[in-house]
Structure 1
Amino acid sequence: MSDTSPSMQALRAPQAYDRTKVTAGIAHLSVGNFHRAHQAVYVDQCLALPGQEGWGILGIGLMDVESERAKAKALQSQKGLYSLTVYPPEGASSVSVIGSIVDYMHAPDDPEAVLTRMSDPAIKIVTLTVTEGGYNTDEKGRFKLEEPHVAKDLQNAVPSTSFGYITEALRRRRDSGAGPFTVMSCDNLRHNGHVMKTALLSFARAKDAALAEWIETNVTFPSCMVDRITPAVGPADAARLNTESGLDDKAPVFAEDFIQWVIEDKFCAGRPAWEKVGAQFTDDVDPFEQVKLRMLNASHSMLAFPGTLIGHRIVHLAMRDPNVSALLDQFLQRDAGPFLNAPPGMSTDQYGDMLLRRYRNPAIGDQLLRIASDGAAKLPVFVQDTARALVRDGKDHRRVAFLLAAFTEYLKGVDDKGVSFPVVEPNVTPADFTLVKDPDPAKGIHLSVFKGWGVETSPAFVKDYARLRTQIQTEGAGKTLAALLKEIG
């Protein structure tokens, strides 16, 4: 989006530091809106501190699709600069220009140039936001070597996946004596450092066993927990953001005012002073991850699938539906919270209340379909542990059974009003869709997304799942939810 009218101003570098002195010490793979509203913000604030000028970001786009090419063109034309508008639940918004991305490369255009940069000793950390489904693991956490893009990377010298780029860059660094870099996942995955390590070592062993051994000995994989609601930016959003800011920005982003980053302090080649700009370092990220994934991300799913079926499309508007709001509140307080090992001093009840306030922020306008996308990768990460615990302890499982029933019906792509919506589920197989269409509603419990949860072995859970699916089909998700809440009391 570009408006060249006289009222629009060109982006200018942040005044807090001299950007001409900043060099890239971090390479980030897959530069989405979340990265630009989260990690890049922490780095931007670090660059204003003395001695931090070597920690700029080299952004690397991986996918060879039109949207990624457009993003690369936009950010390259603006020398990595972009505007971030932050909206609190109440009060005025604020706009800042983020300058931490000092270079941007689109990997499919020149893979060799990307590998050369990643092999440079100046790069000390490689971070990723490739989505929950981007780690290519099965329900048991095993890396899938047979996946077509992975199999192609294992055979070819020119990589296309994150695993291929990282492995080849580390091979070159080992051979040249440049040494290792830290690899850090910034995605919403439990134990994301361990998941990343397992995936990369599995790929590397299939490629070169000796290299895999070197990586395991020398490279560190810290876990971290990230949190900030960052909506998608469509053309209308970009126009609105630029009108509000008065800037001519081809790649604006916006987010809520809440931001959090908890990091395991395991960096083999140094790191920025993130602790001086609000990040929290810890020896044990797990309690923070557990609370965030099983409350925030899980309740987002509890909102997205039933909400979409009912006919809602925007988060804060869905939260005005008293039944949807009650469902989330009950899930957080009765289902998710009681099974959590929260960090010392944290109240899960208060955390749940804070989440509901964040969801009601009218300025964010986040889309339910964005949250719902790739649910087959998200639900096992966010909801499986709670579902298993409810079944194991004989607790009330009906809200989670309703969520699973709603997800199954969501896959049909039609809401209560008969309005079709796009279903973006790259991890749902043709066999899964056959189960969705089966006239026996209980068959849906055998979808691959639910494999390994243990819910299929509970006759009571399967009975409620099938009953709720049937009710959604005949009466709609809205009436089913209302009846469920009355039934539960």
Structure 2
Amino acid sequence: MTAASPSVWLHIGAGSFHRAHQAWYLHRLLQQDGPRWEIALSNIRDDAVPLLNALTQQNGEYVLETVTPTGERQYEKITSIKHIVPWDAGLTAMVARGADAATKVIAFTVTESGYYLDSDHRLDPRHPDITADLQGEARTLYGALRRVLQARMQAHGQPVTLLNCDNLRHNGERFREGFLAFLRLCHDDALLAWVTEQTTSPNTMVDRITPRPTADIAPRVLEATGFADSAPVMGEAFIQWVIEDNFAAGRPALEKVGVTLVDSVLPWEEAKIRILNASHSCIAWAGTLVGQDFIHQSTQTQAIKEMAWEYVTQDVIPSLSPSPLELEAYRDVVLARFANPYIRDTNQRVAADGLSKIPGFITPTLTECYARGETPRATAVLPALFFLFLQRWHRGELPYVYQDGALEAESWHRIMASPDALARFAADEALFGPLAHDTAFATLLAETVATLDEWAKVPQPVNE
């Protein structure tokens, strides 16, 4: 009797986070449970081709370096990626892999902006990338999945789980709503019906700080392991994954390696997005404004740490209470993680995609504070920092290239060049939803920007 072939976890998005997070868990499970599941790694765009080529040369293996806040480093060779899906403009290899009956899960990390959602969390059909995909291209996750799932439906029609692993509130639900809306706009009724009936999209919460790999990692890996790694990755020692247990075609026994399987991910998700993700962005924007390069430097700057602490303490914790989590303790753990000087996560990386992070991470707390009859002074600091950050971007004064998948540069340059730029920013429905028409919010934002503008003119000392 021959052993059953492994099931395949197709992952779309070849960034560092997947390799430090989901691939790590599946590697640990492979060690414990044997080769029952393996990863096929793919990417929608050609920007990951050098990485995919490097991994191909290494049979999908690479070393993960983790580091604690005290500087203790550990090295582990990750072996769960068994298939490197070659990129081509038509995504033919990805389509073939996704259509294979052995593929039971299709997961993805495409960043918050990769879902093209408006302030009401609905698909924005006007975005040029979505428009192109509606015409048959595959620039986005939606266009890519349409090709993959059409082929799967035609080949055998077996069910599959579509698993969102990005920092997006209600990430499974919102991806699914966006994808179904996309299929309706394509008038692809047969695929729409099949996806509705034969796929599930569990919500998840993922957490591990994973900076972009720097040149100094490979020499440390070589010294520690003897492996000349062309594609190492590093992350903090902390890791967490919470998933709603709603898989369409079976799943790995992830609970064996520390993944939390739940009926509803909501309490973990809200705490992580509002306390960790929003504070992370606050620190990155503030640190950039005062000339700092790294998250740990900015977190160790007292004024910046206080901004994040006050935001969580004054506005977020009351919004999330009661909670099954100890929110004050979670806040303190998060800020301690950010202050880790060995991670060397950059303000550039964390500051990215602000136009998606404002409505996704921050506006819900603003609106809930007003609904409680309170003025969200501590939360208003975050969009105020981002406005000042956009001013620097507009004037070409940022110390790095700002990356934002939702940024239409020409339009935002016009806004920031106008004499009423702040009023137009405050009135942007895509950022602030119903608060865009609230005069009290506009006044609060203007007052906060004025205060922070003076503060940001004073360079802050850098701690190394």
- TM-score, normalising length: structure 1: 0.87
Percent of paired sites with the same residue: 33
1:379-408 per-residue CA deviation (whole Å, 9 max, x = no partner) reads 211111111112222324222222212111
Task: List structure 1 segments (4+ residues) > 6 angstroms apart after TM superposition.
Answer: none
Match of 2:281 in 1: 301
Match of 1:82 in 2: 62
Asked whether 1:194 is paired with 2:177, we answer no
Q: Secondary structure at the match of 2:374?
A: coil
1:425-467 per-residue CA deviation (whole Å, 9 max, x = no partner) reads 34233333323233344333124552405154042x3223213
Q: C-alpha distance in 2, partners of 1:453/1:252?
A: 45
Show the 5 A alignment for 1:141-220.
Answer: 141-156=121-136, 159-207=138-186, 208-220=188-200
Q: C-alpha distance in 1, partners of 2:222/2:323?
A: 40
Q: Secondary structure at the match of 1:107?
A: coil
Asked whether 1:446 is paired with 2:427, we answer yes
Show the 5 A alignment for 1:6-405.
Answer: 23=6, 25-50=8-33, 52-65=34-47, 68-90=48-70, 92-108=72-88, 111-156=91-136, 159-207=138-186, 208-341=188-321, 343-344=323-324, 346-405=325-384
Asked whether 1:468 is paired with 2:448, we answer yes
Q: C-alpha distance in 2, partners of 1:76/1:211?
A: 33
Amino acid at match of 2:316: A
By how many angstroms is 1:353 displaced?
0.8
Residues 342 and 265 (structure 1), Cα distance of their counterparts in 2 relative to 1, 3 Å cut = farther
Of residues 416, 426, 436 in structure 2, which corresponds to 1:436? 416
Q: C-alpha distance in 2, partners of 1:36/1:468?
A: 39
By how many angstroms is 1:173 displaced?
2.3
1:107-156 per-residue CA deviation (whole Å, 9 max, x = no partner) reads 32562222111111000000000000111221112223343333333333
Count of matched residue positions in the alignment of Structure 1 and Structure 2 = 454
Q: Give the stretch that moved more between structures: 241-250 or 131-140.
A: 241-250
Q: C-alpha distance in 2, partners of 1:145/1:409?
A: 29
1:334-381 per-residue CA deviation (whole Å, 9 max, x = no partner) reads 11111115652x211111011111111111111111000111011211
Q: C-alpha distance in 2, partners of 1:41/1:71?
A: 17
* Structure 2: unaligned runs, 5 residues or longer: none
Residues 27 and 341 (structure 1), Cα distance of their counterparts in 2 relative to 1, 3 Å cut = farther
Q: C-alpha distance in 1, partners of 2:52/2:256?
A: 31
By how many angstroms is 1:211 displaced?
1.6
Q: Give the stretch that moved more between structures: 76-85 or 326-335.
A: 326-335
Residues 101 and 314 (structure 1), Cα distance of their counterparts in 2 relative to 1, 3 Å cut = same
8 A contact 2:116–2:406 mirrored in 1 = no
Q: Give the stretch that moved more between structures: 177-186 or 110-119.
A: 110-119
Q: C-alpha distance in 1, partners of 2:50/2:388?
A: 34
By how many angstroms is 1:210 displaced?
2.0
Q: C-alpha distance in 1, partners of 2:368/2:6?
A: 48
Q: C-alpha distance in 2, partners of 1:312/1:450?
A: 26
Residues 146 and 400 (structure 1), Cα distance of their counterparts in 2 relative to 1, 3 Å cut = same
8 A contact 1:21–1:53 mirrored in 2 = no
8 A contact 1:406–1:477 mirrored in 2 = no
Residues 327 and 153 (structure 1), Cα distance of their counterparts in 2 relative to 1, 3 Å cut = closer
Q: C-alpha distance in 1, partners of 2:145/2:398?
A: 43
By how many angstroms is 1:250 displaced?
0.7
Residues 338 and 242 (structure 1), Cα distance of their counterparts in 2 relative to 1, 3 Å cut = farther
By how many angstroms is 1:30 displaced?
0.7
Q: C-alpha distance in 2, partners of 1:110/1:415?
A: 36
Q: C-alpha distance in 2, partners of 1:423/1:165?
A: 26
By how many angstroms is 1:480 displaced?
11
1:261-317 per-residue CA deviation (whole Å, 9 max, x = no partner) reads 000011110000000100000001111101110110011111111121011211111
Q: Give the stretch that moved more between structures: 237-246 or 298-307.
A: 237-246
By how many angstroms is 1:195 displaced?
1.0
Q: C-alpha distance in 1, partners of 2:413/2:393?
A: 14
Q: C-alpha distance in 2, partners of 1:175/1:422?
A: 43
Match of 1:5 in 2: none
By how many angstroms is 1:161 displaced?
2.9
By how many angstroms is 1:240 displaced?
4.7
Q: Secondary structure at the match of 1:444?
A: helix
Residues 316 and 274 (structure 1), Cα distance of their counterparts in 2 relative to 1, 3 Å cut = same
Residues 105 and 426 (structure 1), Cα distance of their counterparts in 2 relative to 1, 3 Å cut = same
Residues 222 and 143 (structure 1), Cα distance of their counterparts in 2 relative to 1, 3 Å cut = same
Q: C-alpha distance in 2, partners of 1:219/1:185?
A: 13
Q: C-alpha distance in 2, partners of 1:262/1:164?
A: 27
Residues 44 and 243 (structure 1), Cα distance of their counterparts in 2 relative to 1, 3 Å cut = same
8 A contact 1:59–1:101 mirrored in 2 = yes
By how many angstroms is 1:176 displaced?
2.6
Q: C-alpha distance in 2, partners of 1:334/1:455?
A: 22
- TM-score, normalising length: structure 2: 0.91
By how many angstroms is 1:36 displaced?
0.5
Residues 394 and 433 (structure 1), Cα distance of their counterparts in 2 relative to 1, 3 Å cut = farther
Q: Give the stretch that moved more between structures: 122-131 or 191-200.
A: 191-200
Q: Secondary structure at the match of 1:134?
A: helix
Q: Give the stretch that moved more between structures: 277-286 or 137-146.
A: 137-146
Amino acid at match of 1:192: N
8 A contact 2:217–2:234 mirrored in 1 = no
Amino acid at match of 2:38: G
8 A contact 2:317–2:327 mirrored in 1 = yes
